[in-house]
Amino acid sequence: MSAFKAPASPAAEPSDYAGLSISRFWNNRGRLWWREIDKGLVVLVLLLMGFGTVAVAAASPAAADQYEVAEFAFFKRHIVFQALGLVLMIAVSFLNREEARRIGIILGVGMLILLFFVPIFGEERNGSRRWLEVGMSLQPSEFLKPGFVVILAWIMSLRLRDPDLPVLTFVSAIMVLVAGLLMLQPNLGATILFGGIWFVMILLSGVSIARIGALMASGIGLITAAYFFYDNARYRIDAFLGGGTAFDQVDLAQRTLLAGGWTGSGLWLGIRKMSLPEAHTDYIFSVIGEEFGLIICALVVLMYLAILTRVLLRLVDEDNLFAMLAGVGLATQIGGQAFINMLVNLQLFPSKGMTLPLISYGGSSTLAVCFTFGLLLAITRRNPYLERETKGLKHFFERKEGA
């Protein structure tokens, strides 16, 4: 009697396995991600990225004339970096908080190590060494920003486990190390931004008023020392306080910004932008003013304010100390960088060589900003199973009112 043989099932195609993997991933993590993610923040980020693409298109001819490349070379590259950045942001936002914390710490430590090599092996541009050539121009300080925030938030959150840990000493030592490495490049603008992030996070950690006063005095002392011992800082501060000349970058930026009036001259119809250095990066806000008008500039400001407000509202009832500190730190990084850039263009702050997040052209800077927003989206995801550790930002403001 012959054994019965079941009919052979047809071999599965590779595409079937791929479809099953995608479906399984979406069911396991995708649905949870979609439920927890801050969709309003995603929309605001996408709107700014879209407008940034248009702004770089407007500034590309001026930058191309300065660097003697094809008229829309920077615009084409920007689209590529924006697409890569968008993929990176979405991928990072799928991380849970523990994964985001680990990735942020690894990134911060890695970029801190690279920062040691920048003054030695870095490519010099305009008198500063800030970039490493690794197949592309990598600026470690840009990727260090989100890593720096995560490391500080992690160290400060350890205070819940052991109140006697000298967390203020640890985070201050890290700040001093980062500031020293940045000033070797030199990069005063980034040093000020890192200092601002550190100070805001220190405020939220519950430091006494006396220590806050001492920290503020130390900061003023360091800026004063930079003025006397750092030639580039002294030149820029003197130019800012003295009002500058018609040939200064900041003065040219302000003239360009105001040239379009309230409604602007129209896309690619700006004239002053052609004499503006770094029109596609540091001074793109002025190009926006000339071609799209002051009304659109005001809307850009409101967009950044909406992002900051959205994040802070998300953190008001946050139940995890690390998430609260990291979220506020990352929001401070984005907001601080954006408003420093805009104040420079308005001639209200000395020139700092700082890009406008999500809008300015950039390789490593665009990817770093998108990574930052990915971390911010991951950290602000609302998980109902997290244990309550703090009362969120409400506790901070209640404590200040009762002091």
Decide which of 96 and 236 is more confident: 96
Amino acid at 265: S
Give residue 236's identity as a one-letter amino acid code.
R
Exposed e or buried b per residue across 233-259, where buried means at least 16 C-beta atoms within 10 angstroms of its C-beta: beebbebbeeebeeebbbbbbbbbbeb
For residue 106, tell me if it sits in a domain: yes
143-152 CB burial, b ≥16 within 10 A, e <16: bbbbbbbbbb
Through-space distance between the first and last CA atoms of the chain, rounded to whole angstroms? 93
In 3D, which of 182, 282, 171 has the Cα closest to residue 222?
A: 182
Instruction: With respect to residue 359, please indicate whether it lies within any of the assigned structural domains.
Output: yes
Count the neighbouring beta carbons within 10 Å of the beta carbon of residue 26. Answer: 13
Distance CA 403, CA 397 (A): 10
Q: Is residue 13 part of a domain?
A: no
Residue 124 has φ and ψ, to the nearest 5°, of: -90, 130
Closest listed residue to residue 324, CA positions, set 373, 371, 368, 376: 376
Q: How many domains does the chain contain in total?
A: 1
The answer to the question of residue 20 being in a domain is: no
Task: Among 82-96, 170-184, 389-403, name the one with the lowest average pLDDT.
Answer: 389-403
Q: Does residue 298 fall inside a structural domain?
A: yes
Query: 369 is in which domain, residue-wise?
Result: 38-402
- 89 or 381: which carries more pLDDT confidence? 89
Q: Is residue 8 part of a domain?
A: no
**For 88-99, what is each residue's pLDDT tens digit?**
999 999 998 899
In a domain, 134, yes or no: yes
Q: What residues contact 256, with CB distance under 8 A and at least 6 apart?
A: 270, 272, 273, 276, 279, 283, 286, 287, 289, 290
Average of pLDDT values for 361-373?
91
Q: What is the pLDDT of residues 150-161, one digit of tens each?
A: 999 999 988 877
Model-wide pTM > 0.95: no
Residue 12 lies in a domain: no
